[in-house]
Amino acid sequence: MSAQTQHDSESLDEKADVVQIFDDIARRSQRIVKDFMDRQSVGGGEPDVMNIGGAFLDLTEQLIQDPSKLVNAQLEFWQNYAQLCHNMLFGMIGQQASPVVEPKKGDRRFKGKEWTEVALFDFIKQSYLLTSQFFQKSIHSVDGMDEKNHQKLEFITRQFVGAMSPTNFVTTNPDVLKRTIESRGENLVRGLDHMLQDLERGNGRLDIRMTDLDAFELGKNVAITEGSVVFQNDMMQLIQYKPTTKTVYQKPIMIIPPWINKYYILDLSPKNSYVQWLVNQGYTVFMISWVNPGAEHKDKTFDDYLTDGTLAAIDTIRQITNDQPVMATGYCLGGTLLSATAAWLKSKGQADKLESLTYLATLIDFSDPGELGVFIDEKQVASIESNAADDGYMNGRVMAGSFNMLRENDLIWSYFITNYLCGDTPFPFDLLYWNSDATNMPAKMHTWYLRKMYMENCFKDSEGVELAGVAIDVSTIKTPAYFVSTHDDHIAKWQSTYPGAKLHQGPVKFVLGGSGHIAGIVNPPVNNKYGFQTCDELPDSPDDWLENAQQNEGSWWTDWDIWASEKRGKKVPARIPGSGKFKALEAAPGSYVKRRI
């Protein structure tokens, strides 16, 4: 066979492969579109559940009354744009000019050198930044709007300008454009295939992969701290971890994770496992692993998470440890439940069942829920109730999407570019695997939680809510408490968690870690990252606390260990899971955590 003939044959094979790929894509796309249209015909499309129309009407009314700020913003925009065009003309004849606008610190979208060195892309970048600033400033500067409407419009505007970034389009992203030319479009074909896979996995909803979902297996390379399930009911499994020391501290630790996510964020891998670190320090550690709810849990309420969750776990742990009081830790929503548990036990005269309380990034006073508040009002909660009526639960993927929108550039658009435009396969990353492992929420519990905590904010009030027959009063709690929040938390702002610490009557220590909701909490000492701030006093204002706080190097984990030294008791022989009355039902991580949606 001649070289030309062989080349022609290989070319035909390549064309046949491309035809096959596009044929497969066409068939899959047709099915997905049909499924989507079927849902639209049944559901009547997506209503304006966030009432964005009403928010824009409010904006229009305020602009009509005082148009001066919009006019000033427009004038500033056109002046800057004229300067940008002037700079570009000078750049074309080889003269340099200072940029009119630059990306904010931490904005990684324009880190490629082409965005600065190539005049066209530098112009596109600055033009986009000027326009996005104009939109955001125009909304932010309007006075007189309803605060909720103002917050919604600022949020929606940020989503819009984020979506319109030139990095999100093939022809205006220099890296993607280069790849497309070099691969003759193969990156886009791979990206389209990735998008179809994500649509199929999300049943028509775009469920963007952030990591290689096949690279991890629970119990194999994540959630691998040794232990056993020693108790279970229809709400949770209780894991007792195997000791690594011959003796352990007398008082056991119980960890209450949020049921919005799965517990193994605190046990990802040996190098960053909070669970393994506690075990290695000589603590007996128990973990609640919540069930991933299905239709059979539709009638479960917050009461059930209390009675069949924390209260059942405490009673079991005390039986295993010879009636020792429990050092309880709650993370995020798990911390809110912990405060309810402590108040419930205090009301019942059983406060001595708890030795100490540790709150990780926990809201108790929901006066300022941050940007999460844009998703929570009566119209949206009623929509959640209606949508969940048939299934009996709030779909975890929907909630995960809402959380991702709080950091849209990092958690949505960066993966849109990598997966769909560049056609790359996501890199294996244990944290992102956990982030993709969503959980459902029982409908009754979820809507009650949104109304009572976020909308009415009555949990902080004396007898503001009733749980399991008891009027809850968080202000009666006298158990020693350690609050840790993080400086850059976008879910539970530290200024919002601080008032919860002020509600407790007992001795309270408030600590502020660096970084965000996850990295600031899962911060092993060996990394020596972020640091933390402490203050001996607990003034009324979080700003006053910060002004008097002292910066410390390392991790809050070691500071907590020092704080706990007066509460953990003497050393006793190590407790082996399953050796007593409560036998090992199965090995950790158990079966509840393995249920995916």
Residue ranges in 283-355 assigned as alpha helix (H): 302-305, 312-320, 333-347
Separation between Cα atoms, residue 376 and residue 449, nearest integer Å: 11
Q: Measure the CA angle with vertex 148, ends 147 and 150; round to 5°.
A: 65
3-class SS at 188? helix
CA gap 363, 335 in Å, rounded? 8
Distances (CA, A) of 292 to 202, 362, 369, 522: 17, 21, 25, 23
CB 363 within 8 A of CB 336: yes
β-strands 586-587, 253-256 pairing: unpaired
- Quote the Cα angle for 207-212-214, to 5°: 105
Instruction: Tell me if 88 sits within 8 A of 119, measured CB to CB.
Output: yes
Three-state SS letters, 525-557: HHHCCCCEEECCCCCCCHHHHHHHCEEECCCHH
For strands 326-331 and 227-232, give the pairing: unpaired
Instruction: Give the integer Cα–Cα distance in Å for 163 and 562.
Output: 47
CA pair distance 354, 356, nearest whole angstrom: 6
Q: Are strands 393-394 and 354-360 parallel, antiparallel or unpaired?
A: unpaired
Q: Which of 85, 332, 458, 535 is catalytic?
A: 332
Output 51-56 pairs: Cβ under 8 A, ≥24 positions apart.
51/152, 51/377, 51/379, 52/152, 52/153, 52/156, 54/149, 55/146, 55/149, 55/150, 55/152, 55/153, 55/156, 56/153
Q: What's the longest Cα–Cα distance across the chain?
A: 93
Give the helix/strand (H/E) hosting 568.
none
**Can you read off the two tokens belonging to residue 274?**
């909070």
Active site residue 332: yes
Residues acting as catalytic residues: 332
